[in-house]
Amino acid sequence: MADRSGASVEPLLDRLRQPAMPSGSMDADRSSAPLARRPGEIWGERSRRQSSRGVDFAVYDAIDIEIEPHCHEDRHLIFLMSGQYITSAQGAPPVCATPVLVDNPAGTSHRDRFLGSTGRFLAINIDPALSWEGPATVRRDRTTLARMTALIEDLEFARPTLAVEELAAGLTEREPSPAPAKIPAWLARSWDLVMEEDIAAIDLDRVAREADIHPVHVARSFRRLCGRTAGQLLRDRQFEDACRMLARDNTPLVEIALALGFCDQAHFTNVFCRRAGVSPGAWRKRMRDV
């Protein structure tokens, strides 16, 4: 197997697969020494890449491997484009399905991974000499998501654009201050509605009606802002909330289903199984065993 840049990933797969860890063995996770991750090393298949001012930007597709606990010498950021992503960063839900930027400072030791074998992400690696330590954190504000989505488009050019160079310069400052994104007021209000309101009470028609904007324009505007439509964002939020509720307590599945806007427990179970690969009950048990 080779990534799209032409580099073979087979040595990486061999390194990660040996020795194989028994499925579901969380005790093995805690007793294993973290795998040392080389600076700039990302576990995935690369599709595009640029470098500027000691910062490497690249888009990757997730690969179907069991990620072992590992540590980082360099600071790196992960922007989730698609898929279900698990991270131990402060403020992250049990599973990230909506767009999120995870900032992992130098010295981070964790076992971040995708739930299932599919996913796409932007990775930003900063030279160890320009990195600093601290807690891993997540960001999902409108400004950050708009900037990351625009950055992905800029990576299609052969050479770094001004936006890429400006971001690289900002990431190597001790206290970077992101430039404000130009977001229409109606879209900012719609974003807050989709991300903060009771999910069972939201649909695209309500978002469009409160914004006084045609539903098609709403969908397209959300896609430009964060890489997915308002409807897709709602489904992703619904899945995130389901994972959070299952991990939190023993609320009956039928109550969770109705609270999240599903028709009944069977509907909820079918949708959850398609995304997580396991039933809600199995997911709850797995989280309790962690």
Model pLDDT, residue 4: 37
Q: Which amino acid is at 242?
A: A
83 within some domain: yes
Residue 227 belongs to a domain with what CATH number? 1.10.10.60
Spatial separation of the C-alpha atoms in residues 276 and 212, rounded to whole Å: 35
Residue 51 lies in a domain: yes
Structural domain count of the chain:
2
End of a domain among 147, 172, 197?
172
- Do 249 and 164 share a domain, yes or no? no
From 145, 172, 199, the end of a domain falls on 172
The three-state (H, E, C) secondary structure of the chain, written as one string: CECCCCCECHHHHHHHHCCCCCCCCHHHHHHCCCEEECCCCCCCEEEEEEEECCEEEEEEECCCCCCCCEEECCCEEEEEEEEEEECCCECCCCCECCCCEEEECECCEECCEEEEEEEEEEEEEECHHHCCECCCEEECCHHHHHHHHHHHHHCCCCCCCHHHHHHHHHHCCCCCCCCCCCCCHHHHHHHHHHHHCCHHHCCHHHHHHHHCCCHHHHHHHHHHHHCCCHHHHHHHHHHHHHHHHHHHCCCCHHHHHHHCCCCCHHHHHHHHHHHHCCCHHHHHHHHHHC
For residues 85 and 199, membership in a common domain is answered with no
**Pair 88, 189 in one domain:** no
Residue 4 resides in a domain: no
Q: At what angle do helices 215-226 and 204-211 cross, to 10 degrees?
A: 100
What CATH number should be reported for the domain holding residue 52? 2.60.120.10
Q: Mark whether 51 and 161 lie in a shared domain.
A: yes
> Is residue 190 domain-shared with residue 159, that is, in the same domain?
no
The C-alpha atoms of residue 145 and residue 221 are separated, in whole angstroms, by 13
The per-residue pLDDT for range 91-139, each reduced to its tens digit, is 888 899 988 999 998 888 887 888 877 899 999 999 988 887 788 889 9
pLDDT at position 198: 86
Structural domain containing residue 83: 45-172
Residues in the chain, total: 290
- 111 and 222 co-located in one domain: no
Q: How far apart (Å, rounded) are the C-alpha atoms in residues 175 and 188?
A: 25
Quick one: 51 and 154 in the same domain? yes
Give the model's pLDDT for residue 181.
Answer: 55
Residue 18 covered by a domain:
no
Residue 113, in any domain of the structure: yes
Task: Identify the burial level of 18 via C-beta atoms within 10 angstroms of its C-beta, where 0-12 means exposed, 13-18 middle and 19 or more buried.
Answer: exposed
Assess if residue 49 is contained within a domain.
Answer: yes
Per-residue CA distances from 16 to 75, 236, 250 (Å): 21, 29, 35
Residue 195 CA from chain centroid, whole number: 15
**Residues in the chain, pLDDT under 50:** 1-32, 176-180
In a domain, 7, yes or no: no
Residues 112 and 166 in one domain: yes
Give the pLDDT confidence score for residue 174 in this predicted structure: 58
Same domain, residue pair 158 and 220: no
Amino acid sitting at position 55: V
Q: Are residues 166 and 53 in the same domain?
A: yes
Domain end call among 172, 203, 225: 172
Per-residue burial over 26-37, b = 16 or more CB atoms within 10 Å of its CB, e = otherwise: eeeeeeeeeeeb
143-154 as b/e: b if 16+ CB within 10 A: ebbbbbbebbeb
* Residue 139 included in any domain: yes
Residue 51 and residue 162 in one domain? yes
165 and 208 part of one domain: no
